[in-house]
Amino acid sequence: MATTIHYATCPVCGSGDLHEVLQVKDFTVSQELFPVVACKHCTLLFTQDVPDANSIGPYYRSEDYISHTNTSKGLVNKLYQAVRGITMKTKRKLIEKQSGLKKGSLLDMGCGTGTFIHSMQQSGWQVTGMEPDDTARAAGKKAYGLVIDSPDQFYNLPAATFDVITLWHVLEHVHDLHQYIAQLKKILKPNGRIFIAVPNYQAGEQQVYKAYWAAYDVPRHLYHFSPQSIRVLMQQHQLTVDVYKPMWFDSYYISLLSSRYKNGRSNWLGAFWHASMSNLKALGNAQKCSSVIYVIKK
């Protein structure tokens, strides 16, 4: 029997000043409705009554869950795959610039099928990938010859091990949030950098699609971050957000999925328009983008 988590206080800042703002449907797997609750203090939104870590596995079992399967099923996922080659290069250049390193030790948490760490390995980086899904780890071994670890070993990693730690759309899935951040800090080298990419519910297209906004992705996404809530979370662990970077393509992918959820099929013209308007508002201010990369240092 599934065990659910009901938060009486904010999972980021501990405030009890909470109120429900939306009921959001799990469009991917269960079709269940989940409450989304806001913290007035740190501006975090979070999914209420989520399955605990031992019960949430079935909610990831879908052929459409692209990070686990590398699926090219459907035109939206085909476009995702096509764009991914560009984003791999962009991520590598960002890491090299912000870390000041051309080569080093890198840990990618929630690495999926290992496409990113394979790309970094090809560029000379010493890579470690961790992924909870057995199917994704097997796919990474088959596609790239990678030995991807289970996150069971995460808390056994020694201190000051990695120059760079990356979490590409991972932090929103983590149940033990504060313990997790504390361990990331511990295993990061003194001058290292953590790169955390998460959706930003304050983006323009969320205001268009509201409860149909695909990046809510309940109940798999436990938290729905704003830039302020990320800063608050990091400050509690004596970490600093040093740089904000936009993820422009995410707005188009999310808008296409959102329009499908809202209309029963993707409205390509409307989705492109809303994504473009969202990105236009984010020009000059990455903190307004659909997804934001936070570059974090000690």
* Helices and strands of the chain, counted as H and E runs: 9, 12
Say if residue 271's pLDDT is above 90.
yes
pLDDT of residue 79: 62
Q: What is the mean pLDDT of residues 158-168?
A: 98
pLDDT of residue 66: 46
- High-pLDDT (> 90) share of the chain, %: 88
Q: What is the mean pLDDT of residues 19-35?
A: 97
Q: Which of 30, 44, 40, 37 is nearest to 5 (CA)?
A: 37
pLDDT-derived band at 81 (thresholds 50, 70, 90) equals: low
Sequence spans of domains, the chain:
4-297
Q: Which two tokens stand for residue 148?
A: 């991807």
Q: Which CATH architecture has domain 4-297?
A: 3-Layer(aba) Sandwich (3.40)
pLDDT-derived band at 266 (thresholds 50, 70, 90) equals: confident
Q: Which residues contact 3 (CB under 8 A, 6 or more apart)?
A: 51, 52, 54, 55
The whole-angstrom separation of Cα 71 and Cα 146 is 19
Q: How far is CA 75 from CA 82, 128, 253, 266, 269, in A?
A: 11, 32, 11, 10, 14
- High-pLDDT (> 70) share of the chain, %: 92
Say if residue 87's pLDDT is above 90.
no
Number of residues assigned to the chain: 298
Q: Which of 65-74, 118-127, 185-194, 264-273 has the lowest mean pLDDT?
A: 65-74
pTM of the model: 0.94
